Amino acid sequence: MNQKRVSLLLLFSLLITSVPESASATTDQTTLKLIKTITGAIAPKSVQASNDGLVSAHNMMYRHSVTIYDAETMELKQTIPDTVRLSDFGYSKYSGRYKGAPVEGAFSPDGEYLYFTNYAMYGKGFDKEGTDTCSPASGYDKSFLSRVNLAKGEIDAVYPVGSVPKVVKVTPDNKYILVSNWCSYTVTVISVETQETIKSIKIGRYPRGISVSGDSKFAYVAEMGGNRIHRIDLDNFALDYIPIGSNPRAIELSPDGSRLYATLNISGKVIAWDLATNQAVKAVSTGKSARSLAISSDGSALFVVNFRSGTLSKVRTSNMKVIQNIKVCAAPIGVTYDSVNSRTWVACYGGSIKVFANQ
């Protein structure tokens, strides 16, 4: 090989290795491809990525379990029953064993715990299970939030919350646990330090989705029975709101905190809201009954499951256009994005999980 050719090859090699990381494809430039269908003793209402190697599925009262998967291999690591002895945690008026009904989950920022809400509790003393149509006047039983110690693989704490708790989030600073209570019309605020409820905040009809700003200063809560996103100042718990549109269900914030995205369930749309100008940016139709929502770690793509359409939609955030629409299963209900492996996990209520690569 002559010297000139060697020099050209070296130059070409340097050019390739010097391409900046920012030039790599963003998530909205990739395509969703099904790589695995997970089945078994599951009926997942939701899925949640820890973004450090785990994905959890929360299997309601149909399976009374939380299943935990290896995010890379997509293999089942552990099945954790939702059954507890409430008296073991200081609730002495409850005797015997109690089953729960896992709805949604949230990993703690330190990676030590998984929290999950229970739609209802089953056992002595619980005889008025909540329903999807309800109010605080209905008098339905209150429920509990459970905490899984991930190292031990068992429930090691429970927290009393409202009636029919739905979404749980942990603030990024690991200071508060927030739970939306569907039938109580409230959000429960639990202190991680004291392990006690410090506030119950009235929201309105059917609070559901929760998102917390990266600096842990604000929490946003969707009032699904109305048309507002409530913003909670986590310093003083003062409230204001965003007039987002009818029937908001799920919420995600952009990584830089400048935009809020929400699914509008009845209209089947996803809307982007500019938090600086406090104005809507754009809404896009994705399918019938837009339910759960996830965002890629680079903020370039949204993933939304459309329950009655049976589809998963991928939306480019820069222009709020649907760039991919996939028939996924009969009743897709939950979705999460695993940033470590750039995969999108979809919970199918009928008893499966679909895993998609973004490639």
- Please give the Cα distance from 163 to 140 (Å, whole number): 6
- Please give the Cα distance from 82 to 297 (Å, whole number): 30
* In-domain check, residue 96: yes
User: Is residue 75 helix, strand or coil?
Assistant: coil
- Please give the Cα distance from 100 to 316 (Å, whole number): 38
Residue 24, pLDDT score: 76
Q: Tokens for 358?
A: 């973004």
Bridge partner residues of 81 (DSSP):
65
Number of domains making up the chain:
1
Query: Residue 53's domain spans which residues?
Result: 25-358
Residue 227, pLDDT score: 98
Is residue 130 within 8 A of residue 142, CB to CB? The reply is no
- Please give the Cα distance from 292 to 271 (Å, whole number): 13
Q: Are strands 239-242 and 248-253 parallel, antiparallel or unpaired?
A: unpaired
Taking each continuous run of H as one helix and of E as one strand, the counts in the chain are 1, 28
Which strands form 46-49's sheet, in the order they lie side by side?
46-49, 54-58, 65-70, 76-81
How many CB atoms are closer than 10 A to CB 304? 30
- Please give the Cα distance from 16 to 51 (Å, whole number): 29
Tens of pLDDT, residue by residue, the chain (359 residues): 444 443 444 444 444 343 333 447 999 999 999 999 999 999 999 999 999 999 999 999 999 999 999 999 999 999 999 999 999 999 999 999 999 999 999 999 999 999 999 999 999 999 999 999 999 999 999 999 999 999 999 999 999 999 999 999 999 999 999 999 999 999 999 999 999 999 999 999 999 999 999 999 999 999 999 999 999 999 999 999 999 999 999 999 999 999 999 999 999 999 999 999 999 999 999 999 999 999 999 999 999 999 999 999 999 999 999 999 999 999 999 999 999 999 999 999 999 999 999 99
Radius of gyration of the chain (CA): 21
* In-domain check, residue 8: no
* In-domain check, residue 46: yes
Amino acid identity at 351: G
Q: For 209, phi and psi rounded to 5 degrees?
A: -60, 145
* Buried residues in 143-168 as b, exposed as e (16+ CB within 10 A): bbbbbbebeeeebbebbbbbbbbbbb
Q: For 201, phi and psi rounded to 5 degrees?
A: -110, 125
* Buried residues in 47-62 as b, exposed as e (16+ CB within 10 A): bbbbbeebbbbbbbbe
- Please give the Cα distance from 196 to 186 (Å, whole number): 16
Look at residues 189, 184, 192, 196 and name the one whose alpha carbon lies nearest to residue 210.
189
* In-domain check, residue 5: no
How many CB atoms are closer than 10 A to CB 354? 23
Which tens digits make up the pLDDT trace of 81-112?
999 999 999 999 999 999 999 999 999 999 99
* In-domain check, residue 296: yes
pTM listed for this prediction? 0.93
Question: Exposed, middle or buried: residue 135 (CB in 10 Å: 0-12, 13-18, 19+)?
Answer: middle
* In-domain check, residue 11: no
* In-domain check, residue 12: no
Provide the strand spans (E) within 85-217.
Answer: 102-107, 113-118, 144-149, 154-160, 165-170, 176-181, 186-191, 197-202, 207-212
* In-domain check, residue 9: no
Please report, for the domain that includes residue 224, its CATH number.
2.130.10.10
